[in-house]
Structure 1
């Protein structure tokens, strides 16, 4: 299935039905009064979030959507039927923006959440509505009103608990494939991953969590370099970031360089990312032959103040330690959120990472 995370669409609500000009005509009522019915209301265009969709692919092939118009009124005081609403299902996590101004109009971040994008026009009044003491036989009726029309941009931001970030070919796809049922394309060249991948990870008795692997970042990504800004949006909603570092390729003169480059790109893209908890996964440790080098790298990355775990996604070494660390940090973030929302402060957390200290 092709992954599409941004599309532009036009939505048109239904026009209201026209009111009717009619007079009562019966055998013994030669001069019956007006009995023209009202037109029906036009249908609305509604967006609904569903977890059955993971992409905006359906909107790539059809860009214009129109709801049903209202039926016209009829004689004998018969009102026209209202047009049916057009319900368009989108993946959970879809933002709806005004195509001209970029203003966010709706954030459909929960299954079943609905937002009315365009309201149908009101039906016109029939001539029975215009009777007065001075006008007993009105021969006028209203036309139905036009429905709203809007030019919109749909932008999908994936909802995941954990986001994997790092350079191309750092081993993110291999990692998500090793800990979940996700099966991304894996190869030994950069930019193998061209679209985000989601995987559900289960570890021990902890609640399963969703992990997202986005295409690799390079310097200048926040300005669009590489695949750049197109996919950075998908880590904005994650609760925890995992920096995947190719331990076999770090420069000896500055082993933290890969981390700092990615960190700089994240922060220049969004200041909110600065406050997200982080872990470091030193991947491909099986290719670092000297044990002293492995210990040296681990100590350097631990000095950042984030949990750092030595792993090999290919041989599955260290994955239990990494998943245990992720589960612990997810639990800490959950308790921290409860602490902020609750008037009763929680007991101090053991081994609280520095970025969680108020």
Structure 2
């Protein structure tokens, strides 16, 4: 399956159903009164973590995801049916980000974990709700509210305890296949690994997850080659295992320079990534030149914390696995700086539409025409369609409460001027 780790989708929760205007009609029942029911709530958009998924391919080709609309209210005070919520299944390790605000909406890390990322609109009230002792036959009703909407970025970061990093041909895929049951594609040419592969290693009934990440090249952290697409996956790994071809590509490359190149890319991508705990694995020790290169390399890095293996021949793999497990146990008992930064969004707030209720925009279009817009005005416009006289009165009252007419007067509007409020064109009588 093609690996897709970033997808951009427009998320639109369902609109609430409209309230109904109706009056009770029954033989021998005089003046039955208002009986319009409320509209149902719109469907919310929910993301669900699904184990076994490894790609965002299903989202990649969707321009938008829309929630279902709530059912309109009906006569006899019948409530419209609430719309069914729409669920989006995503791989574990998926971040959902608001593209405009860059806010992290949620982080899906557990199987069957659910997050409401866009709440459906509330259904409007029917005219039965507005009956009073002074107005026993109201024709007031509310339209359903619009649901939350935003442009979402779905970003997948592989969840693994250990990340295998290194240059292409360092032997990461071979190593993963030897110490886990994973079967990545293996060949002796650059960029064999085009997608991250996960495997589970077992040591004395204890397990940990390894990820074989695509090889990095110089400039990966600034967008060159394959690395920039997968460096993000390293952020999730608690421990980095730096696999080095100690033969120096059979004597054609400087081992120490190769090591520094990877360290440079880690630092260039993330300010804390180079501080992640690292185990250095000297691979291909079955090659004659490797021993000489290792002695020189240890002097250059100024410590002897290097594990010598041969992934191809299976040498010292038990030692490597036990060392990884011991390091992970130690790390889990410590609170590292990178963990604090990574988990600073633990208490995610579900995304909700945030309107500026005080926003009113009045524009003089000339020739006695004024245009009114803004979130506060749009909210009233959406909520109270002026298809009945009572709704026209309440629409006017709501605008008055915003001091809109006072604002128009202060800006120079005159009696008889045309006031455009979205699709409505109203003549102003000058009262405020």
User: TM exceeds 0.5?
Assistant: yes
Pick aligned residue for 1:312 from 291, 310, 313:
310
Match of 2:47 in 1: 47
Distance 1:84 1:147 in 2: 13
Match of 2:272 in 1: 272
Match of 1:348 in 2: none
Distance 2:293 2:15 in 1: 69
Unaligned runs of 5+ in 2: 340-432
Query: Normalised by the size of structure 1, how large is the TM-score?
Result: 0.88
Match of 2:227 in 1: 228
Match of 2:368 in 1: none
Match of 1:179 in 2: 179
- Cα gap change, 1:177 to 1:322, in 2 (>3 Å): same
Unaligned runs of 5+ in 1: 342-358
Alignment of 1:1-358 (within 5 A): 1-205=1-205, 207-249=206-248, 255-288=255-288, 293=292, 296-297=295-296, 299-300=298-299, 303-304=302-303, 307-337=305-335
Q: Shift in Å at residue 140 of structure 1?
A: 2.8
Q: Shift in Å at residue 267 of structure 1?
A: 1.3
Distance 2:278 2:248 in 1: 21
Distance 2:18 2:31 in 1: 24
Query: Normalised by the size of structure 2, how large is the TM-score?
Result: 0.73
Distance 1:117 1:74 in 2: 30
Q: Shift in Å at residue 279 of structure 1?
A: 0.7
Larger Rg: 2
Q: Shift in Å at residue 309 of structure 1?
A: 1.1
Q: Is the 8 A contact 1:50 1:91 kept in 2?
A: yes
SS in 2 for 1:158: coil
Q: Shift in Å at residue 221 of structure 1?
A: 1.1
RMSD, aligned CA: 2.2
Q: Shift in Å at residue 213 of structure 1?
A: 0.8
Q: Shift in Å at residue 215 of structure 1?
A: 0.7
SS in 1 for 2:129: helix
The aligned length equals 336
Q: Is the 8 A contact 1:39 1:125 kept in 2?
A: yes
Q: Shift in Å at residue 120 of structure 1?
A: 1.0
- Cα gap change, 1:252 to 1:67, in 2 (>3 Å): closer
